[in-house]
Every structure is written in structure tokens, then in C-alpha cells.
Chain A
Amino acid sequence: MTALVVAALSAREVGRRRTALVLVISLPLWFYLVRRDLTGQSLRMLTLGIGWAVSTLTLFVVNASRGVDPRLRLSGASTAAVIGGRLLATTAGGVALAAAYWLLAAVDQGLDRPAAAALMMALTAAVAAPLGGLVAAVLPRELEGALALLSICAVQMLADPAGLVAKLMPFWSGREIGTYAVDATGPEYLWRGLAHGVLTWLICAGGTWSIFAWRLRLPRCPEP
């Protein structure tokens, strides 16, 4: 219940920041348009753009609530409800964004495996939310957090996809599933991508929860 209220009000807060919202929504579009002539590249860039937009949005949502969250804990909310609610809001927004861009790509490019393309984008959005939360937990200041996410996305974009560095990056799953969706490869790409995405989600969500559980912990004061 508390998590749902936190999620609904976080979504409402973001919805009121019209300019920021337009920029977040349009960010993946520029990635897509730059490589529109190549189906595979445009889809992969679009997916990375979705990941960058959703993770940055989560970073700012979590950082903006730093003054409120300790008071919510004092009022009785659990850390899971407070942080989970915020991640739920940005995940839902990210998946909606992914659905809209999937529709655009399906109409514009004519996808051979549309379900796999949808999975690629939705999984990337789902991973991006806790990634933004984890960066916000580790780097409490917005500038540092935004620069860290920029570095992650740049390395993801430039690294050799077959190399170790790319596999250690959080959005490698999107690239693998994208290969399955566009290049008509075998299902091993799909499973590898899914496994990487699930593992990354678990690490990021678990890390975010652990750091905030420690930071928002309240001591057990005995009754006088």
C-alpha cells in the first residue's frame, strides 16, 4: 500500500516536470534517428537510449527525495516501501516508454521478431531503473551521478560486444537479445541476454536496497 502511494506520487512529481519529461522521452529518439538507415544498429542505439533515459530519470527521482525519505521512515514506512515505490514508478514509466518506441520501430522498420525486440527494450528499461537507483545510492550528488551514468552508457556503446568489458556493462543484455531479434541468430543469444538482464537487475536492485536500508536505518531506541 505505502509503496503504491509512493510510486503514484513519484510518477505525479515527474509528470509535472514537463520540460525534463520531454527531454527524457525524446532522448532515445535521437539515438534511433542517427542510425535509422540500419535496422539492427538503430534498434540497439534506441534501446541504449531508453536505458540511459530511464536510469537518469531514476537517479534524479531518488536524489530529489533525500529530504523526505528519512521523515517517511520516522513516520513508519519501511525502506522497501519507500525505495521500492520510487523504483516501481520509474520502471513502469520506462516500460511504457519502451512500449511506445517499440511501436515506432515496428511500424518504421518492420521487425522480423517483434516480440524479442519488445523484450529487449522492456528488459533494458527494467534494468535501467535499479541501475539509476544504485548510482544514486553510491553517488548522492546529482552531477556526479549523471556523469557516472554517462560514462557507463559511453563504454557500453563503444566497447567490443564480444569482449569482457561490454559483458560487464549493465545493458549488454539488450545487445544480445537485439542480435537474436534482428540478425535471426539461434535462441542462445536470447537466453544469454535474459540471464544477463536478470542477474544485472538482481545486483542493482539488491545493491540499491542494501545501501538505502543502511542509510535509512533507524536505531532501536528502548522505551524510557
Chain B
Amino acid sequence: MTAWGVRFEDELRRLGVQPGRARQLADETAQQAAECDAAPDSLFGPAHLYARHLLSELTTRTLPLNGPSGPVRLRLTGVGKRYRRRTVFDGVDLTVRGGEVAAIVGANGCGKSTLLRICAGLTRPSSGRVQRTRRVGFVPQDAGTAGWLTADEHFTLFGAAAGMAPRRARSTGEHLAARLAWRPGRKQLTQHLSGGTRQKLNLVLGELHSPDLLLLDEPYQGFDQGTYLDFWHQVRAWREAGRAVVVVTHLLHDLQHVDQVFDLGALR
């Protein structure tokens, strides 16, 4: 097998494809390249990006047309959170499947962000049970980035955390940024980015390691109209790729884009 094929197979396995299936896909891809009498990298592009693309295409084709019925990616059973004597929420039951977008809505202070952090595992629930898939991407409402690093350096840092080589992490990050109509400046520090662009960086970092479950806390803060539409287009793409998406929102017109709505305020 060529070096490209080895990288392609490795990336498929890193993305969670079973080794046997990854080998089969790598062989089929090599065969296609041979039939076209072309080198795989000139035909398909970088191996790690094509692996993501192929996986996304394959998952989309296995999803039924009438609603999501993928594997359960997140299940909350009777989850509650108390701070000392104050109960923030109690008895939350929520199930989100692959290929499904769920929105968490509610008034300010009802615990939407806390619930999302519980889903991520960053905050412990006071009661109840959380079951979720291992590969999770979390996009906080603010912070979560380092002001003195560039976007490329963030890709390197978060990629290293996920076991990706620096070059691969950077090219994947730039590829994902392009989907949000953003081309990161090589030398521009994050603290000099606009609020909306910093949120784009946040989104890319949440998706960089190709999670099965994306947890987004009002990720469109500071987006202009075009970027806001790009964002929901991206959410639809994730949904079609079989990923589960949970988005905290307070904008009611967002709800047309989602499969289920969980009103946290209604529990009170």
C-alpha cells in the first residue's frame, strides 16, 4: 500500500472505523486511483481530509430520509443540579440520537449552560445518570481560547490533545474554517479577532477531532447574517453526516432548524 493509503487507513481508524472496514475502504480507494491511472493524492487530495469526507458521505447514505434513527449518542435520565440549597433544575430526561439536532431553550438563569456542561462531563450532576458517546466536541459560549495564540496554533494545540500530528491538525482546521467562510490569518492573534470570528474558531476547535456528539452553547454570538446562515447550514451538514448536535439557544426562530426542543424553563 502507498504512504497515502496508509495515512488514509490510519485516519479512518482514528475516526472510529473498524480496522477491517478501514482496510477495505483503503483498498477500494487505491483500486479507484489505479483505474483512473492517477496518484491518490492528486485524485482525492490529502488523505486525512478525504477520510473525513468519505466517512461523512457513507454515513449520510445510511441515514433514512424520514427523521433521525441513528444510535443514541446522549441520554440523560433524571438529571438534576443543585448549588447548596438552590435547585437549578431537576428530573431532566433527554435522548439525542445520531443525525438529530436538539435545542435546549429556557429563560436566562434556568441552567441551560450548566446542563450542557453536564452533558460534556465538565460539571457533575447532583442527581441522575448521564450516558454519552466517548467522542464529544464542546463549544462554550465564550472563552475556551487563548488570546496570545493564533488560530493555526490553536489547531495544533487541540489537534495534539486529540493525537493528531501538527500539520494534519492545521490543514483540518483550515478546511473546517473554510466551511464557515473564514480563512484564518497566519499571524493574527485570537485576541485581535472579532467576537464572531472567535466563535468560528471555537466551533472549529469543537469539531477538530471529529466528535460524534457536538455540544454548542449559543455558538452564533457575534455572527453576522451570512455567517449565521453558514452556521445552520453547517449544523444541517453535521446532522446529515449522522452526528448528534445539542445546541443551547434563546432565539425562537432557530427552532425551525432542529428536530426536538427541550424547554428547561418548563420544568420549574
Collect the chain B residues with CB atoms within 8 Å of residue A186's CB.
none
| A224:B138 contact, CB within 8 angstroms | no
Collect the chain A residues with CB atoms within 8 Å of residue B252's CB.
none
Query: Is A109 part of the contact surface with B, judged by Cβ < 8 Å?
Result: no
Tell me the count of chain A residues lying within 8 A, CB to CB, of chain B: 29
Collect the chain B residues with CB atoms within 8 Å of residue A74's CB.
120-122, 136-138
**Partner among A16, A64, A77 whose Cβ is within 8 Å of the Cβ of B161:** A77
A-B contacts at CB below 8 angstroms, number: 88
Query: Is B166 part of the contact surface with A, judged by Cβ < 8 Å?
Result: yes
Query: Is B181 part of the contact surface with A, judged by Cβ < 8 Å?
Result: no
Beta-carbon contacts under 8 Å, B156-187 to A: 156-158, 160-163, 166
Query: Is A219 part of the contact surface with B, judged by Cβ < 8 Å?
Result: yes
Tell me the count of chain B residues lying within 8 A, CB to CB, of chain A: 38
**Proximity bits, B115-135, A CB within 8 Å = 1, else 0:** 000001110100000111110
Q: Which residue of B lies closest to A75 (CB)?
A: B161
- Most A CB within 10 A of own CB, among B136, B146, B208: B146
Q: Assuming A9-B157, A12-B149, A13-B149, is B131 touching A221 (CB within 8 A)?
A: yes
How far apart are B18's CB and chain A's nearest CB, in angstroms?
A: 16
Which of B29-37, B61-69, B72-80 forms part of the interface with chain A? Answer: B72-80
A2 to B158, alpha carbons, bound, how many Å? 9
Query: Is B144 part of the contact surface with A, judged by Cβ < 8 Å?
Result: yes
**Partner among B73, B133, B153, B158 whose Cβ is within 8 Å of the Cβ of A71:** B158
| B157:A224 contact, CB within 8 angstroms | no
| B130:A221 contact, CB within 8 angstroms | yes
Collect the chain B residues with CB atoms within 8 Å of residue A6's CB.
157, 160
Collect the chain A residues with CB atoms within 8 Å of residue B138's CB.
71, 74
Query: Is A185 part of the contact surface with B, judged by Cβ < 8 Å?
Result: no
Collect the chain B residues with CB atoms within 8 Å of residue A77's CB.
160-162
Collect the chain A residues with CB atoms within 8 Å of residue B146's CB.
9, 13, 64-65, 67-68
Q: Which residue of B lies closest to A67 (CB)?
A: B143
Query: Is B148 part of the contact surface with A, judged by Cβ < 8 Å?
Result: yes
Q: Which residue of A lies closest to B135 (CB)?
A: A76
**Proximity bits, A1-38, B CB within 8 Å = 1, else 0:** 11001100100110011000000000000000000000
Q: Which residue of B lies closest to A3 (CB)?
A: B160
Query: Is A158 part of the contact surface with B, judged by Cβ < 8 Å?
Result: no
| B161:A76 contact, CB within 8 angstroms | yes
Query: Is B145 part of the contact surface with A, judged by Cβ < 8 Å?
Result: yes
| A12:B133 contact, CB within 8 angstroms | no
| A224:B74 contact, CB within 8 angstroms | yes
| B134:A223 contact, CB within 8 angstroms | yes
A88 to B81, alpha carbons, bound, how many Å? 37
Collect the chain B residues with CB atoms within 8 Å of residue A221's CB.
121, 130-132
Q: Assuming A16-B148, A67-B145, is B121 touching A218 (CB within 8 A)?
A: yes
A16 to B189, alpha carbons, bound, how many Å? 10
Q: Which residue of A lies closest to B134 (CB)?
A: A223
| B160:A2 contact, CB within 8 angstroms | yes
In addition to A71-B138, A223-B132, 9 A-B residue pairs with Cβ atoms within 8 Å of each other are A2-B163, A6-B157, A12-B148, A67-B144, A68-B145, A74-B138, A224-B72, A224-B74, A224-B133
Would you list the 4 A-B pairs with minimal beta carbon distance, nearest first? A77-B161, A67-B143, A5-B160, A75-B161
